[in-house]
Structure 1
Amino acid sequence: MAWATTPDHQPPPPDAPRPESRDRIYRSSAGIAGGVLLLAIMGWLGIDALVSGHGRTPWLALATMILLVPLVTAFTLRPAVYANEERLRIRNPFRVVVLPWTTIATLRSGYSNEAVTADGTRYQLWAIPVSLRSRKRAAKRQSRGATADSSGRVSPAAPARAQTDRAMDDLRELAEAHPHVEGTQDAVSVRWAYEVIGPAVAGAVVLAILLAVG
């Protein structure tokens, strides 16, 4: 069958670049919930101190909020991992790291989940924390799911995985589809999050001055 085309629907040329695939996004729901709760408490206490405080209290409250709000946001709401067919982007509290898949030697899970490059540099995945409690719950679900046949032989249930372990499994599949090649020219990109560091440092400086002045 011949391939028919029309002027307003042309197939892309063979050498046209592929459109970038959509990101898979991984974030910690517990971290987000905790961050929202902490920010709500800080906002309530801080605004109360600003409105009803006397003397230096409003200024101390303002400086404390300028210091703590960026830090709480950085460690709870900000962390995220974005993965697509080309690269892994890690948004940690104070850095954004972009790793092409060909630069990643392994994705390691221990007390934390990490991406390890060919030169041994490790980048922690803050958005995908290791939860020993979730692993224990998954193991209990698996043991309860085991069934016994008519002869009394116990058949093991399908392996149960914690949510963060499943996320790492997804990332490993992407990494295995794009293995590291010696001599690759792909580069790792690391950018500091000055939008977080700047306000936090400013708040710390103002708070230190206020405390020093007395």
Structure 2
Amino acid sequence: MSSPDVPENGPETPGPEPTPEPAAPDRVFRSGAGIAGGALLLGLGAWLGGDALFRGTGTTPWLALAALIALVPLVVAYTVRPAVYANDQRLKIRNPFRTIVLPWSAVDDVRAAYSCEVLAGEEKYQLWAIPVSLRARKAANRRQARAAAADPSGRTSAMATPDREVRASADQAVDDLRELAERHGREPGAQGPVEVRWAYEVLAPMVAGAILLAVLALVS
């Protein structure tokens, strides 16, 4: 009885399993105006609060310190913190006090009316990082109408249409997110439950500062 042929270098060993492809880099949506406003408010708070800390007398420095502890996280939460991250697998929404991670399979719709929001089952999540500007939407509609009425020679024509639709920035961002949801919603890597996490790193100092401010106001 003959033995099966064995390679000279010994039995074959299975090769390493292929590593999964890394997720595409995130597309980040943020409000430039919100960040600029937050920077201005933080600078103003640092100026006024620093002056009270170093030049105030009595309980004034302590009141200023408590106010800074309470208000700085609040300003950061509403201006600098909001952001939306989107890749091929999930949508991550960073709102002032919560972070929501939604796989594309859980996203039913993304829409913009007076605010941008994501619908997931019976839940609705606001997109704080993509504010809706009715003024910008009206301006985009006016540009769209002018482009639709102008032919390449510069004369107006009711039958002419623009090569590309003009959209407000918030509406364009919602269109992009909706397209990602429709494209990747059924892919294996885009499945899973919705995750919601409270931003305790913002809430804890804000609550502590508010309590300290209330105590100092009572004893002063």
TM-score w.r.t. length of structure 1? 0.87
Please state how far the C-alpha of 1:142 moved relative to its aligned partner. Answer: 2.0
For structure 2, list consecutive stretches of 5 or more residues without a partner in the other structure.
1-14
2:51 is equivalent to residue 48 of structure 1: yes
Choose 18-27 or 148-157, whichever is displaced more.
148-157
Quickly say closer, same or farther: Cα 1:151–1:73, change in 2 above 3 A.
Answer: closer
Q: CA RMSD in A?
A: 2.2
Please state how far the C-alpha of 1:56 moved relative to its aligned partner. Answer: 1.1
User: C-alpha offsets along residues 119-154 of structure 1, whole Å, 9 cap, x if unaligned?
Assistant: 220111100111111101112222333315799633
Aligned counterpart, 2:9 = none
Q: Is the 8 A contact 1:138 1:161 kept in 2?
A: yes
**One of 170, 173, 195 as aligned partner of 2:176:** 170
Please state how far the C-alpha of 1:164 moved relative to its aligned partner. Answer: 1.3
Q: Distance in 2 between matches of 1:30 and 1:95?
A: 21
Identity %: 56
For structure 1, list consecutive stretches of 5 or more residues without a partner in the other structure.
1-11
User: C-alpha offsets along residues 152-179 of structure 1, whole Å, 9 cap, x if unaligned?
Assistant: 6332434210111111111111000123
Please state how far the C-alpha of 1:113 moved relative to its aligned partner. Answer: 0.7
SS at match of 1:190: strand
SS at match of 2:108: strand
Q: Tell me which amino acid in the other structure corresponds to 1:38.
A: L
Q: Distance in 2 between matches of 1:67 and 1:150?
A: 57
Q: Is the 8 A contact 2:104 2:191 kept in 1?
A: no
Larger Cα Rg: Structure 1 or Structure 2?
2
**One of 79, 84, 88 as aligned partner of 2:82:** 79
Q: Distance in 2 between matches of 1:163 and 1:105?
A: 22
Choose 134-143 or 144-153, whichever is displaced more.
144-153
Q: Tell me which amino acid in the other structure corresponds to 2:68.
A: M
**One of 99, 102, 107 as aligned partner of 1:104:** 107
Q: Is the 8 A contact 1:103 1:180 kept in 2?
A: no
Please state how far the C-alpha of 1:180 moved relative to its aligned partner. Answer: 6.1
Please state how far the C-alpha of 1:101 moved relative to its aligned partner. Answer: 0.1
Q: Distance in 2 between matches of 1:69 and 1:123?
A: 25
Q: Tell me which amino acid in the other structure corresponds to 1:126.
A: W
Q: Tell me which amino acid in the other structure corresponds to 1:132.
A: L
Q: Is the 8 A contact 1:31 1:76 kept in 2?
A: yes
Give the count of matched residue pairs.
Answer: 200
Q: Distance in 2 between matches of 1:124 and 1:180?
A: 23
